[in-house]
């Protein structure tokens, strides 16, 4: 089936692995320091700086791919929220995003530091729209605070989630708990109300249903079989 043209254009397997390795390395390096050098990233991926430029035109291209990757995950999370109760929707959204903490770190770092502001903003637009919708519904139903205008509250929720996930402990067992409670508090609930709500829906804080962390999505070993 594979025409000679396809065969000629298909990249070598090791090249694909290396490309994925670069992205993974960039993930780590940029989360730690959003302006890590191309050399540092390449080296962390076990490659030379020169080889990296064989995979990405540009430092910018690499960053853009990372942003796209993260945005896709976030927006998938946003789309999966379907609770009728806006309070539960918020809680579940926060919990789900916490599971993507590693990606939040990179995105947040890039968004804050670099000149990629517009880019990340558009990439995350669906997630933002979800938050806005939940907040609006919650205010209409009078279950979320109404002393703060809708758009402002949405922004506040977003910033709170980002802050807690990126700037507090990061991966302690209680961190997800904290992220969820912080968001509910900012949304207007008292801490006891939040506690009651979470007590009634223990699945929100339960260990993630998702399969651990598929950190390296493109590991060739299992595909190769034997």
Partner DNA sequence: ATTAACTTGCACACCACTGTGCAAGTTATC
Partner DNA sequence: GATAACTTGCACAGTGGTGTGCAAGTTAAT
Site residues (vs DNA, CB under 7 A): 2, 7-8, 10-15, 18, 37-40, 46-51, 53-55, 57-60
Phi, psi of 114 (to 5 degrees): -85, -175
**129 touches its own copies by CB under 8 A:** no
- 46 or 195: CB nearest its own copies: 195
Q: Which of 20, 24, 81, 148 binds its own copies (CB under 8 A)?
A: 148
Tell me which stretch binds its own copies (CB under 8 A): 10-18, 74-82, 99-107, 178-186: 178-186
74: closest CA among 149, 30, 127? 127
Residue ranges in the chain assigned as alpha helix (H): 4-9, 13-32, 38-44, 49-55, 59-80, 86-99, 101-113, 117-123, 125-140, 150-167, 175-186, 191-200, 220-224
How far apart CA 226 and CA 224 sit, in angstroms, is 6
Q: Which of 43, 59, 64, 145 binds its own copies (CB under 8 A)?
A: 145
Instruction: Kindly list the residues in this chain that would bind its own copies in the complex (CB under 8 A).
Output: 112-113, 145-148, 152, 155-156, 159-160, 163-164, 167-168, 178, 181-182, 185-186, 188-191, 193, 195
């Amino acid at each position: 089936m594979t025409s000679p043209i396809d065969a000629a254009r298909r990249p070598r397997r090791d090249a694909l692995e290396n490309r994925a390795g670069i992205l993974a390395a960039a993930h780590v390096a940029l989360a730690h320091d959003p302006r890590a050098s191309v050399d540092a990233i390449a080296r962390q991926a076990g490659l030379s700086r020169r080889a990296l430029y064989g995979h990405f035109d540009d430092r910018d291209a690499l960053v853009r791919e990372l942003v796209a990757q993260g945005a896709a995950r976030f927006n998938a999370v946003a789309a999966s929220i379907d609770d009728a109760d806006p309070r539960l929707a918020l809680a579940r959204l926060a919990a789900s995003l916490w599971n993507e903490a590693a990606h939040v770190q990179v995105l947040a770092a890039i968004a804050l530091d670099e000149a990629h502001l517009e880019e990340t903003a558009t990439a995350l637009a669906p997630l933002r729209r979800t938050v806005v919708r939940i907040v609006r519904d919650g205010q209409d139903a009078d279950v979320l605070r109404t002393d703060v205008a809708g758009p402002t509250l949405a922004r506040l929720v977003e910033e709170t989630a980002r802050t807690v996930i990126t700037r507090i402990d990061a991966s302690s067992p209680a961190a997800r708990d904290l992220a969820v409670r912080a968001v509910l508090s900012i949304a207007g609930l008292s801490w006891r109300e939040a506690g009651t709500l979470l007590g009634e829906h223990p699945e929100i804080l339960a260990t993630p249903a998702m399969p651990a962390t598929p950190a390296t999505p493109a590991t060739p070993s299992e595909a190769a079989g034997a």
